[in-house]
Structure 1
């Protein structure tokens, strides 16, 4: 195993923490910054931070960018517009933990698509790991009581998050299925640019429809944009692309099972949404599942 590949199992445990910060940002931003403006600011800043490092590669590989522009636009729409602005829309009326729980369904879809479309193989241990991790997520959703299944209520925000989860599944599978002549960092920058092309008209429309009473963006809004660009933006997306290359789409997708655990802890610290005992039991099921799926 090369030095780069040895980092993959460690990153699999770190990336969910970076990723889950976006669910907290979605909740914090609901009274501070409109969703599309936040997503546009996030990805504009992320692209600006990346260009000094990948701009030369993009210029040298401009023929590949021209050849792949349709795919880059689709990936940008799925990963940066829908999985960006729509998550922030959902954060207006659902909790950070709910966002993480809905997203935690996507590893099953990604794993199935990885087997059917990408011809990835899943061992018996990995299939058992999916079942174990899913059981942990379900335990958290039901709060340890099967009767809570009948009491589940969905909000409009949950609908936005569900659509974003489906979009993330498509993004993950297509990112792996569509081969690219671009290196991972340059490809991510090009995908971000594609996402911004789709985000900008919706951002302009959103800004035009804002009520006059909406406060103008201030320092809090700027802080959220910077945080979103760095942590769940450049760092998590770059690491996710790297993990897909090293571990495959199916195994990498398992990191989303950790999101409810990380999100519950972050929501407790930042938003005061205290976790319950069911989160601990769920984590006790999810964590061994991740280890079982990623061990050599």
Structure 2
């Protein structure tokens, strides 16, 4: 696969995930995180298995032989990440959540170097720093001192668990590179639904939601659940978790763009921040002097 296609997949994955933050905030106000997590993956499963069969034509016996790793990936990336994210959005603002999430690329790069022995270059490191600075400029509108003035609450602490879970998911996902990514995602989703079903059946289902929330559920079930996970898993299989991680900074930029489209104004620091993110991503995709992983 061409690198340009991989980078396009990473951009689309984060664009869809940005929508998940926006719609998730609305839906979780009307639907509990557990039910939302189950519903989105039920919708996704209906799409993932036919897509896997049509596009990849996998040997399902080979896929299910990796059930142990698939189970771990289900607990981390399918159940844990999404449930914790929606739980965090109940208590914190999108701004706080996005700022905490911007730590994710650095954490993935660090874990990749420590556990996967993936090398990084000085230019890659510079790109990471520039992108992180760009994200912070976008989120704070150029007022970086706001980082020290935010009221970190329970939701912010849950977001720390969110980024740790996603880091582990990305690292462990490399262990099944021989499994087609759509098939692996579909199998993980099916396992996750089995894990969630007993809790959903015993939960209080006496609630209703608006047409806006229904639209949000459908969006979340298709684009972030199917599109983002497929694009992300394909990408990390081709370029590695540490190089793909830098693109997670786009999530916050796209969130800012969506905010603008919904009527909010844009400032020069936000524009500058967006440019820095893209410059950082450009630098991260180039080679330079390697920094060897310790250990």
For this structure pair, what is the TM-score category when the shorter chain's length is used for normalisation? 0.7 to 0.9
132 and 64 in structure 1: CA distance in 2 versus 1, 3 angstrom threshold: same
145 and 31 in structure 1: CA distance in 2 versus 1, 3 angstrom threshold: closer
* Partner residue, 2:276: 285
State the shift of 1:284 in Å: 2.5
Residue 224 (1) aligns with residue 212 (2) = no
Rounded Cα–Cα distance in structure 2 between residues aligned with 1:102 and 1:242: 25
TM-score (normalised: structure 1)? 0.86
267 and 194 in structure 1: CA distance in 2 versus 1, 3 angstrom threshold: farther
58 and 47 in structure 1: CA distance in 2 versus 1, 3 angstrom threshold: farther
* Partner residue, 1:233: 225
168, 171, 174: which one aligns with 1:170: 168
* Partner residue, 2:292: none
64 and 13 in structure 1: CA distance in 2 versus 1, 3 angstrom threshold: closer
Q: In angstroms, what is the RMSD of aligned CA positions? A: 2.4
Secondary structure of the 2:66 match is helix
Instruction: Extract unaligned runs of 5+ from structure 1.
Output: none
Whether the 8 Å contact between 1:15 and 1:255 is mirrored in structure 2 is no
Rounded Cα–Cα distance in structure 1 between residues aligned with 2:63 and 2:28: 39
53 and 262 in structure 1: CA distance in 2 versus 1, 3 angstrom threshold: closer
State the shift of 1:142 in Å: 4.8
Rounded Cα–Cα distance in structure 1 between residues aligned with 2:234 and 2:58: 22
CA deviation string 1:204-255 (max 9, x = no partner): 44x32x6x6xx42464443222110111110011000111122211111111
243 and 276 in structure 1: CA distance in 2 versus 1, 3 angstrom threshold: same
251, 269, 272: which one aligns with 2:261: 269
Secondary structure of the 1:31 match is coil
State the shift of 1:200 in Å: 2.4
* Partner residue, 2:185: 188
Q: How many residues align?
A: 286
Structure with a larger share of its residues in helix: 1
* Partner residue, 1:197: 194
CA deviation string 1:235-285 (max 9, x = no partner): 011000111122211111111111111111213334x55555432232132
Instruction: Extract unaligned runs of 5+ from structure 2.
Output: 288-295
TM-score (normalised: structure 2)? 0.87
221 and 158 in structure 1: CA distance in 2 versus 1, 3 angstrom threshold: same
CA deviation string 1:61-85 (max 9, x = no partner): 22541x3212111111111112112
Whether the 8 Å contact between 1:101 and 1:259 is mirrored in structure 2 is no
Rounded Cα–Cα distance in structure 1 between residues aligned with 2:120 and 2:193: 35
109, 112, 130: which one aligns with 1:111: 109
Whether the 8 Å contact between 2:76 and 2:165 is mirrored in structure 1 is yes
